Structure formats: C-alpha cells, structure tokens
Amino acid sequence: MGNYFQRLLKADIFSHTEITLFDYAALDQQRQKETQRKGGGSGFLAPFPLSDSLVKFFGTGEDSLSRADVVKRMWNYIKQNDLQ
C-alpha cells in the first residue's frame, strides 16, 4: 500500500499538483472499491463449469456458477424439501 502512495506522490511532483492526505485516503478507498467490484477472481466468486448432474439437479440450464451460488441453491433445495 505504501508503494501505491509513493507512485502517486512521484506522479504529483512531476505534474506540480498538490494532493492532501485526505485525497490519498479517498484515492485508496476508491482503488479498494474497484478491486472489490471486479470480483470473480477469488475461488468463491469465480464461475466454474457445473457437472451434468448439477445442471440437471438445478434445472436452470446454466452450465457455470460460482461456488457460493451452488451452495446457496443447494441450501434452498434442502430447506424447501425439509431435508435439514
């Protein structure tokens, strides 16, 4: 994170603009939000291909879902059919 601020500082020195400490915090928060929005990169959010039996089980025709979505749908099935 410190390296990120150092790069901003170097860029600002050459452009002769001033950035306050508040601006650095706002820029860091914006950068964190952008990386959070991207998602899909982690193992739980990345879409994985489903096996034929899971596609048939869910009955939606989707051939790829994230792990979290698979777990949610399985729990919904368990609760709907009183299998808990």
> 39-84: per-residue pLDDT in tens?
545 677 888 999 999 999 988 889 999 999 999 999 999 999 999 8
**Helix 21-38 crosses helix 2-15 at what angle (to 10 degrees)?**
120
Its pTM stands at: 0.49
Integer Cα distance of 19 and 11 in angstroms? 11
Backbone angles phi and psi of 66, in degrees to 5:
-75, 160
Give the integer Cα–Cα distance in Å for 63 and 34. 28
Task: Write the CA distances from 81 to 4, 37, 78, integer angstroms.
Answer: 51, 34, 5
3-45 pLDDT, tens digit each = 666 665 555 555 555 555 556 667 677 777 766 665 545 677 8
